[in-house]
Amino acid sequence: MSHTGRNIVIGGEAGQGLVTIGQMLTRALIRSGYEVVVSQDYMSRVRGGHNTYSIRVHDAPIAAPAEAMDVLVALNQETVSLHKGEMAEGGIIILDAALDPEGARAVPVPFKDVAPRPIFENVAALGVLGSLLGVDRPTVEGLVRETFGKKGDEVVGQNMKVLDDAWKWAEAHRASCAALPAPKGPKGRMMLHGNEAIALGALAAGVKFCSFYPMTPATSVAQELISKGRKLGVVVEQAEDEIAAMNMALGATYAGAKALVPTSGGGFALMTEGVSLAGVMEAPVVIVLAQRPGPATGLPTRTEQADLNLALYAGHGEFPRAILAPATIEDCFHLTHAAFDLTERFQTPVFVLTDQYLSDSYRAVAPFDLDALPPVAEPDFTPGGGPKFKRYKRYELTESGVSPRKVPGFTETLVLADCHEHTEQGNITEDAGLRNAMNDKRLRKGEGLRKLCIPPRVIGDAKPDLLLVCWGSSEGPVAEAADLLRAKGRSVGVMSFTQVWPLDPAQFLPALRAAKEVVCVEGNATGQFARLLRQETGFEVSRTLLRYDGRIFTPGWLAERLG
Amino acid sequence: MSHTGRNIVIGGEAGQGLVTIGQMLTRALIRSGYEVVVSQDYMSRVRGGHNTYSIRVHDAPIAAPAEAMDVLVALNQETVSLHKGEMAEGGIIILDAALDPEGARAVPVPFKDVAPRPIFENVAALGVLGSLLGVDRPTVEGLVRETFGKKGDEVVGQNMKVLDDAWKWAEAHRASCAALPAPKGPKGRMMLHGNEAIALGALAAGVKFCSFYPMTPATSVAQELISKGRKLGVVVEQAEDEIAAMNMALGATYAGAKALVPTSGGGFALMTEGVSLAGVMEAPVVIVLAQRPGPATGLPTRTEQADLNLALYAGHGEFPRAILAPATIEDCFHLTHAAFDLTERFQTPVFVLTDQYLSDSYRAVAPFDLDALPPVAEPDFTPGGGPKFKRYKRYELTESGVSPRKVPGFTETLVLADCHEHTEQGNITEDAGLRNAMNDKRLRKGEGLRKLCIPPRVIGDAKPDLLLVCWGSSEGPVAEAADLLRAKGRSVGVMSFTQVWPLDPAQFLPALRAAKEVVCVEGNATGQFARLLRQETGFEVSRTLLRYDGRIFTPGWLAERLG
Amino acid sequence: MDIEVYGEYKKTAWCPGCGNHDVMKAVRQALAGLDLAPNKVAHVSGIGQAAKAPHYIDLNGFNGLHGRGLPPAQAIKLCNPELTVIAQSGDGCNYGEGGNHFLAAIRRNVDMTLLVHDNQIYGLTKGQASPTTPEGQITKSQPDGVRNAPFNPIAVAVAMKCSFVARSFSGNTAHLVKMIQLAIQHKGFALVDLFSPCVSFNKVNTYGWYKQRCQELPEDYDPTDWAAAMQVAQEFGERIPIGVIYRNDRPSLDASLPVLQKGPLGRQPVDRDGLRALMQSYT
Amino acid sequence: MDIEVYGEYKKTAWCPGCGNHDVMKAVRQALAGLDLAPNKVAHVSGIGQAAKAPHYIDLNGFNGLHGRGLPPAQAIKLCNPELTVIAQSGDGCNYGEGGNHFLAAIRRNVDMTLLVHDNQIYGLTKGQASPTTPEGQITKSQPDGVRNAPFNPIAVAVAMKCSFVARSFSGNTAHLVKMIQLAIQHKGFALVDLFSPCVSFNKVNTYGWYKQRCQELPEDYDPTDWAAAMQVAQEFGERIPIGVIYRNDRPSLDASLPVLQKGPLGRQPVDRDGLRALMQSYT
Ligand SMILES: Cc1ncc(C[n+]2csc(CCOP(=O)(O)OP(=O)(O)O)c2C)c(N)n1
Ligand SMILES: Cc1ncc(C[n+]2csc(CCOP(=O)(O)OP(=O)(O)O)c2C)c(N)n1
Ligand code: SF4
Ligand code: SF4
Ligand SMILES: [Mg+2]
Ligand SMILES: [Mg+2]
């Protein structure tokens, strides 16, 4: 087996219910106490095509998807044809008895007998899977009851019957598939994907306003805030375009509300003028940039890490920013929370740079301990300060570069936020000296940001021969690839950056220099982070290992190329 | 004297006619055979405020503006107050007799006597200046006749009378101001500023379409094409916004017309999604990005070199581009011409990165030899090739990465230009292998661009102790600063990049390494080009010398800081 | 032209039953009827379900950005007036992200046709409200119902005296074909807002819903009567009028630019003598 | 409020004689008359001559990007409904670069006032045609005359049933003050398109030109009559009607969002219990 745990893949056309089956099974596994890494591979269409929903499941922590399939649920013939060559040793295909297994090891299910109507096939598949994998049956039953509860007892009863039939049918076929080992994880964990975690992190930080224009894979951040955050007092506005979304957010933070803007590359490109406005206006704003492959429309539903340069340099003129790049679902939560603090403390845009893979990847995550979170900076809501009915020094020249940020309406003094070069009060100036002073002031905030920057996570061997450098969502696959290489006797370490800007070379340069070989692993074609490292430190990595076909890194794919 | 030649400055409020006087004098000087460097310093307003128009004039080539003023024409009292401390030794202020010279050496002119009505004051000032500076009188007379010719003989007569009176009045004051040395330059040269030269370069390359949205300091490129290019068959469309301007240009090149898009930072920010579209669509387009200080509205009428990073990384996803940065008016012409060739040859966006200083800076320029220009690449207008009424392989995978570009309507085959990842025919694909092949194909064009990249200009000492690195419009001031330093006995060389992307380190790295000290001079606050050099070569400059107050580099300012 | 010349694409990424299939059929019929050679048409789109159209028909195609179909479409005509320019895209693309270009295109009046597949929803991004989604309608992203007043493209276009304004429905092929043909034949910017139901995400404005409401304008309706058109434009309830709602004779921009009368710009040579004379003007 | 409280700025960057001076006077009078404390007003603008307004009056100010005044203005109201939100900017800013936000703001109907200084020209960038420049007018950038049909903001706003639509003229202070006050008092999105002559770049639509044409609507004019308003909106010739052209009672977005009834969002604490319960929903 090329990976630990079990890789269960459900494949079929969009609209056939593969996500429903996948999500129900994922939830059942998490409730049972398993660890999972879900990866979703879908096309830019609503019906038809070929999509997969993959659950790698294990009884111990895992951090990446796998390639070889242990169980493939094929909802159509195409799925069999496409993937029969990707089955792991001993893997089985579960498929309708009417389909042709094309010579692969298979468990043909008489779905027509088990499910009285096509609508029940999802539950039937769940029953077969649950039974074959040896998932705790009461857990699955509870889930089915819960799922259909709203539709009344009759529907629940019908589904329970299907589940029972399927489960029993499969029991007779247990031999074809080893049951999962007993779960070891705690109960009570959430089934959470990256974008949900970002939304929760924003809520925990006190987000009050979200303006967005729909764009895959960022939409679900806004969607979570709509479906769930609404009750917690968040105003979510679907804007006419991304330009409006960004400029609205700046209006919101001006008015004292913490604001979030989720988008993807093309939408973000339209926001870049607004990012520059935030820079000079010193407006806090958290931008979630969920990457997908470009240029332009590219591969709209796939994953990539090619918008690092865009995030680094978006906006004309020069101003500081911070870019956080979550590697895990927990990071999505905590870094988003931290982003709100940073953006308010330094009054400059802060990015959460994620990607489609992480956005859509469900994991088992313990509920976050809200009481353990650090406080989030607030603007100055106090009524005093500044002259009454006259402008206070919104852009007061300070040593840190940060000026007290008062909120209009909460005070008798006036707040003037401005887009030109300006005086301390925010009035237009063309004075060369003031320009220098203000530009320096703004850039000084970058130094403050640098002092607080999060050091890279170091995983594996402390003084390795081979040091793998990565950032954002690649950490999991890279860390597991390192394990695979170590298992072959190599000395391998991982340096994973969850903050990619600003960088503090003191935190990592010695380790880079100490390693015999440094390979930078990135989901793009030009090695953007490796170039950034060189720009900031002069250090040139030994080589880059790049993937840019829209598909995610897997430990196997990486180990093969590093082996 | 802190500089060679003479620095003549006209100062006053917007709307007082200082640009008219300045332009007439500039033209008279050029027609006489002098060398000039004009720099214009103005505020973001139409009336009032304080503006200056400076002409540095010399009998030998000069490349930069000067600071100390030899002749200051003060159109109002404020001009005297603001600049009296900036007069060169022996400098004089020319002002209306009603104004107070505030103790400075001055020539008070009884304008009320010389000019019968305020409208004639411009010509009166010209007469005084011409006379004091010893400019060839028939040349000035010819200019006045020409300027007012359209308004009829009476107006010409009146103005000639004013000129005559002013000239004669000034003759009596000749002693106060040394006449200019005799001019040595050729006659028949153009009075041309950077943006006019860009427009001419575009016309020479065969530009047929220009879409723009007004924005200082880029507007005058479009304006030239409107006022003058129109007759040469150019369609210039003022778009509803910059997004439309960029996307229109891509439609134009698709239809086979060479297209130009002039803009500045904030407008360009809005175009970045379209830049990415050009990348994946492999659409030629020439973007003139005329820099001004940001962030956001910043100092809208001043100069800066802070949008290099923006030009380098604008647009989501990864695709090649070239960035040319003219240093002289001649560069503006030739590099724009070259940009059209490059963009068609490599079917990817090419930038001409200029700035307000160069945009507005008039010089004496010999008419360009059109016959000596290299040919400009064309798309394939031939009728044949490709299947009739079916798509040809618009994105054929080739070794160079460049695919034959046919033009719709000129052929019976069909041309499909697309924004997604696509097949060779341009159809949407989600295939991983094709994605890789297409991404690689596009990026290969970057290698082709690199092979053709223009080496930096090396000026001054060949193996200097101090090597000054600069790019774009800073070359002139830096080269003259080097002269000043050499005059003090230092060994100084200049390396001036007129192409800032892609870079070929073989062209310059040895020289960088050979110098004892390398100082990078840039008009921005973060040393963007120095960082790019380090990213691409690992080479770290000894230090940067940066200016970002919106004002232009002068040789004196630089020499003082390098001395 | 034989309709076959435009190809027939059985493999589209559209859902079975999506109105867009019918629209494509109508487009092919309309083109064939007008005898337009595929290579003489430039077919432009943005991004969305409808905007995939250039991939499913054999014409020259320019598939641009979301919301940005109109700018390249107009520029193509301004650079090659010999091409027939047709833009197709969704309600979100044209009235949402691209709203500003919609206004500008009406004002500019370049000779081209805009077919808006109006399904009153964002299809490709899975069901958020579009500018034309009715007030109060519940969607995934508007769970308390849409609060914005819907955008009425016909009313805005007529108010702006757009040179040709029509409405049609994918379920009425004969009508749609006719509208498309009239739009193409019209010399100026021609808008056809055509209902094309999204069977996956709009469960309110369905095929049946439109079928029941869409009624052809009476034979004697005069589309040159602006005030009447303005009234018709407001009708969007139990009855929705379809047909040519408004038109006028304003000359198109391309027709009024002298340089375009010499044919496509692309092949016009550099006027070196003119340029030399121009350089003289700077001396 | 004493009008002095809003400050009087003698040093502006505007040309002497520019209509904007009069507009500022009227704004101050209007605010004083409504007794609005400076700290309770958020005054938003874009970029252009008119858009410099926030620098010349003592109110809270947000001077944003060219064309982008409306999005922050609406967001400010949606985050703090206790603020009176007024946006000021030019015709280019609102109908050109910002056209899409103009459409969206009408549809969204947030309670705010938009004052468009309509000088039918791009002032700050020195005289290019704006969307409202008349057809045929010669400008620096349109030397053969403007070819686009002018944008009629009133017609579009009325066609879209914008909740308040008025027109006024900087040269008629009393009228302008009244329009601004009615707009501010109106609960919804209120547009005031006000002519404010550019003395430097528009030599056609001058003070005298407007003065001669602007005529107040008759006393008995009923701005709730949509069809009548649509007719009035088309009048732009020898006579240009000024006054409240159209209004309706559509509830404003801010008034219909329950969470805003609890006051400004900024100070509403994080609902930790709610969030804990929410996390449970993911288990
Ligand atoms: C700049 C940008 N923003 C957002 C998107 C995502 N997006 C793609 S299609 C679409 C909406 C499609 O709606 P519509 O235009 O009505 O077309 P339909 O799918 O309904 O035919 C959106 C928001 C994008 N591709 N680009
Ligand atoms: C994105 C962007 N594009 C262009 C400009 C340049 N610009 C500044 S003001 C202006 C037009 C102003 O016209 P209008 O809005 O009518 O205001 P006015 O000056 O006439 O009051 C333009 C094009 C800019 N600042 N930003
Ligand atoms: S989602 Fe709707 S619009 Fe898209 S293809 Fe399916 S039915 Fe058509
Ligand atoms: S240029 Fe026109 S709009 Fe601008 S300040 Fe002067 S008069 Fe007013
Ligand atoms: Mg739609
Ligand atoms: Mg204006």
Domain boundary among B126, B149, B176: B176
Query: For chain D, how far is it from start to end, CA to CA, in angstroms?
Result: 57
Other beta carbons within 10 Å of B8 = 28
Bridge pairing between strands C214-216 and C240-247: parallel
- B308 lies in the same domain as B231: yes
Structure tokens at B352: 């001409």
D97, D119, D137, D200, best to mutate vs chain B, most B CBs in 10 Å:
D97
Q: What would the DSSP string read from start to end of C102-132?
A: HHHHHHH--SEEEEEEE-SS-TTTTS---TT
Q: Which of B237, B254, B426 sits opposite C76 (nearest CB)?
A: B254
Model pLDDT, residue A1: 36
Among D51, D195, D213, D184, residue whose Cα is nearest residue D133: D195
Angle between helices A194-205 and A219-227 (to 10 degrees): 60
Q: Rounded to whole angstroms, what are the CA distances from B553 to B39, B65, B330, C269?
A: 11, 8, 19, 40
Query: Who's near C215: CB < 8 A, 6+ residues apart?
Result: C239, C240, C241, C242
* Any atom of ligand 4 within 6 Å of the Cβ of D201: yes
Instruction: Note whether D267 contacts A: Cβ–Cβ < 8 A.
Output: yes
DSSP states along B244-297 = HHHHHHHHHHHTT--EEEEE-HHHHHHHHHHHHHHHHHT--EEEEEEE---STT
How many whole angstroms separate alpha carbon B543 and alpha carbon B409?
55
C198 lines ligand 3 (CB under 6 A): yes
How many domains are there within chain B? 3
What is the C-alpha end-to-end distance of chain B, expressed in Å? 17
> Into how many domains does chain D fold?
1
* pLDDT beyond 70 at D273: yes
Q: How far is the CA of B445 from the centre of ligand 2 (A)?
A: 37
CB-ligand 4 contact for D207 (6 Å cutoff): no
Ligand in nearest proximity to the CA of D49: 2
Can you give the pTM of this predicted structure?
0.98
Cβ–Cβ below 8 Å for C141 and A266: no
CATH at residue B149: 3.40.920.10
Of A310, A316, A531, the CB nearest to B294: A316
Closest by CA to D74, choosing from A242, B142, A244, B168, is: A244
* Range of the structural domain that residue A90 is part of: 6-176
Q: d(Cα A494, Cα A512) in Å, to the nearest integer?
A: 10
Output the average pLDDT for chain C: 97
Subunits next to B (3 or more Cβ pairs <8 Å) are A, C, D
D218 vs D63, D192, D241, D278, CA distance in Å? 37, 18, 9, 58
Give SS3 for A289. Answer: strand
- Predicted confidence band of residue D133 (pLDDT cuts 50, 70, 90): very high
- Residues A129 and A230 reside in one and the same domain: no
Whole-number Cα distances in Å, C56 to A443, A475, B409, B420, B451: 51, 41, 19, 15, 39
Secondary structure of C40-97 in the HEC alphabet? HEEEEECCCCHHHHHHHCCCEEEECCCCCCHHHHHHHHHHCCCCEEEEEEEHHHHHHH
- What residue in B sits closest to A44 (Cα-Cα)? B430
Atom 2 of ligand 3: nearest residue by CA position: C198
The answer on A202 and A169 residing in a single domain is no
- Secondary structure string (H, E, C) spanning chain D: CCHHHHCCCCCCCCCCCCHHHHHHHHHHHHHHHHCCCHHHEEEEECCCCHHHHHHHCCCEEEECCCCCCHHHHHHHHHHCCCCEEEEEEEHHHHHHHCHHHHHHHHHHCCCEEEEEEECCCCCCCCCCCCCCCCCCCCCCCCCCCCCCCCCCHHHHHHHCCCCEEEEEECCCHHHHHHHHHHHHHCCCEEEEEEECCCCCCCCCCCHHHHHHHEEECCCCCCCCCHHHHHHHHHCCCCCEEEEEEEECCCCCHHHHCHHHHHCCCCCCCCCHHHHHHHHHCCC
What does the pLDDT profile of chain A (563 residues) look like in tens digits? 347 899 999 999 998 989 999 999 999 999 999 999 999 999 988 999 999 999 999 999 999 999 999 999 999 999 999 999 999 999 999 999 999 999 999 999 999 888 888 888 899 999 999 999 999 999 999 999 999 999 999 999 999 999 999 999 999 998 889 999 999 999 999 999 999 999 999 999 999 999 999 999 999 999 999 999 889 999 999 999 999 999 999 999 999 999 999 999 999 999 999 999 999 999 999 999 999 999 999 999 999 999 999 999 999 999 999 999 999 999 999 999 999 999 999 999 999 999 999 999 999 999 999 999 999 999 999 998 999 999 999 999 999 999 999 999 999 999 999 999 999 999 999 999 999 999 999 999 999 999 999 999 999 888 999 999 999 999 999 999 999 999 999 999 999 999 999 999 999 999 999 999 999 999 999 999 999 999 999 999 999 999 999 999 999 999 999 98
- Token match 């820099």: residue? B291
What pLDDT is attached to residue A57?
Answer: 97
The pLDDT assigned to B86 comes to 95
* Atom number, ligand 2, closest to the C-alpha of residue B215: 6
Is there a domain that residue A227 lies in? yes
Contact D65 B297 (CB under 8 A): yes
Task: Measure the CA angle with vertex C278, ends C275 and C282; round to 5°.
Answer: 140
Identify whether residues B160 and B195 lie together within a single domain: no
Of the candidates D65, B371, B344, the one whose C-alpha atom is nearest the C-alpha of residue A419 is D65
Question: At a CB cut-off of 8 Å and minimum separation 6, what does D10 contact?
Answer: none
Distances (CA, A) of B443 to A266, B448, C62: 19, 9, 22
pLDDT at B1 (0 to 100):
36
Q: Are residues A348 and A207 in the same domain?
A: yes
Rounded to the nearest 10°, the torsion over CA C68, C69, C71, C75 is 150
Task: Kindly give the parts of chain B with pLDDT less than 50.
Answer: 1-2
pLDDT value of position B115 = 83
Half-sphere exposure of D262 (CA within 13 A, CB side): 13
Give the pLDDT confidence score for residue B117 in this predicted structure: 84
Ligand 5 centre distance from Cα of residue C120 (Å): 5
The chain C residue lying nearest B413, using CA atoms, is: C39
Looking at the structure, tell me whether residues B291 and B249 fall in a common domain.
yes
Distance, CA of B168 to CA of B158 (rounded, Å): 15
D259 vs A contacts (CB less than 8 Å) = 230, 233-235
* A1 within some domain: no
What is the CATH classification number for the domain harbouring C55? 3.40.50.970
Same domain, B147 and B235: no
Separation of C31 CA from ligand 5 center, angstroms?
24
Of C258, C225, C18, nearest to C117 by C-alpha is C18
- Facing C152 at nearest CB: one of D104, D131, D160: D160
Same domain for B334 and B197, yes or no, is yes
Q: Give the span between the Cα atoms of A494 and A478, in whole angstroms.
A: 7
Contact of C236 with B172, CB cutoff 8 Å? no
D156 touches chain C (CB under 8 A): yes
Residues B37, B65, single domain; the answer is: yes
Distance CA B183, CA B186 (A): 9
β-sheet bridge partners, residue B467: B493, B518
User: Do residue A204 and residue A256 come from a single domain?
Assistant: yes
Q: What are B488's two structure tokens?
A: 């003090």
Tokens of A197: 């975690």
Closest CA to B284 of B330, B350, B185, B231: B350
Cβ neighbours around A209 below 10 Å, total: 27
Write the secondary structure of A422-456 as one string of H (helix), E (strand) and C (coil): ECCCCCECCCHHHHHHHHHHHHHHHHHHHHCCCCC
ipTM: 0.98
Give the alpha-carbon dihedral of B110, B115, B120, B122, to 10 degrees.
Answer: -20
Element (H, E) at B426: none
Query: How does strand B492-497 pair with strand B457-460?
Result: antiparallel
Q: How confident is the model at residue C278 (pLDDT cuts 50, 70, 90)?
A: very high
Is the shortest distance between the CB of C202 and ligand 3 below 6 Å?
Answer: no
Judge whether C233 is closer than 8 Å to chain D, CB to CB.
yes
| Residue-wise pLDDT tens digits, D240-259 | 999 999 999 999 999 999 99
Contact D38 A190 (CB under 8 A): no
The Cα–Cα gap between A395 and D43 comes to 18
D49 lines ligand 2 (CB under 6 A): yes
Assess whether the C-beta atom of C170 lies below 6 angstroms from ligand 3.
Answer: no
- For chain C positions 172-201, those within 8 Å of chain A (CB to CB) are 200-201
**Is residue B381 in some structural domain?**
no
Mutate to test the interface with A, among D78, D97, D276, D280 (most CBs of A within 10 A): D78
Q: How far is CA B431 from the centre of its chain?
A: 44
Instruction: Please indicate whether, in this complex, the C-beta atoms of A367 and D83 are within 8 angstroms of each other.
Output: no
Rounded to whole angstroms, the Cα distance separating D242 from D168 reads: 5
Q: Judge: B46–D143 Cβ closer than 8 Å, yes or no.
A: no
CA of A3 to the centre of ligand 4 (A): 71
pLDDT over threshold 90, residue C244: yes
Does C255 touch chain D if contact means CB atoms closer than 8 Å? no
Stated as kind and residue range, the H or E segment containing A558 is helix A555-562
pLDDT, position A114: 86
Torsion angle in degrees (nearest 10) through CA of A141, A144, A148, A149: 40
**Domain CATH number, residue B483:** 3.40.50.920
> Could you tell me which chains touch chain C, where touching means 3 or more CB pairs under 8 A?
A, B, D
Do residues A549 and A472 make contact, with C-beta atoms less than 8 angstroms apart?
A: no
How many contacts, defined by CB atoms under 8 Å, are there between B and C?
Answer: 212
Q: At A235, give phi and psi (nearest 5°).
A: -95, 120
Domain housing D28: 3-280
Q: What percent of chain D is predicted at pLDDT more than 70?
A: 100
> Are B22 and B126 in a shared domain?
yes
The answer to whether residue A310 is domain-embedded is: yes
Q: Which CATH number covers residue A256?
A: 3.40.50.970
Query: Closest Cα to atom 1, ligand 1: which residue?
Result: A267
Identify the pLDDT of residue B116: 82
> Looking at the CA of A219, which ligand is closest?
1
Query: Which of A45, A69, A49 lies closest to A57, judged by CA?
Result: A69
Among the bound ligands, the one closest to the CA of C19: 3
Q: Write out residues 55-114 of C within 8 Å (CB-CB) of B.
A: 55, 58-65, 68, 70-76, 78-80, 82-83, 100-101, 103-104
Determine the residue among C74, C78, C94, C100 to mutate to test chain D binding: the one whose Cβ has the most chain D Cβ atoms within 10 Å. Answer: C100
Give A438→chain D minimum CA distance, Å.
17
Predicted local distance difference test score (pLDDT) of residue C215: 98
CB contact under 8 A, B44 and D99: no
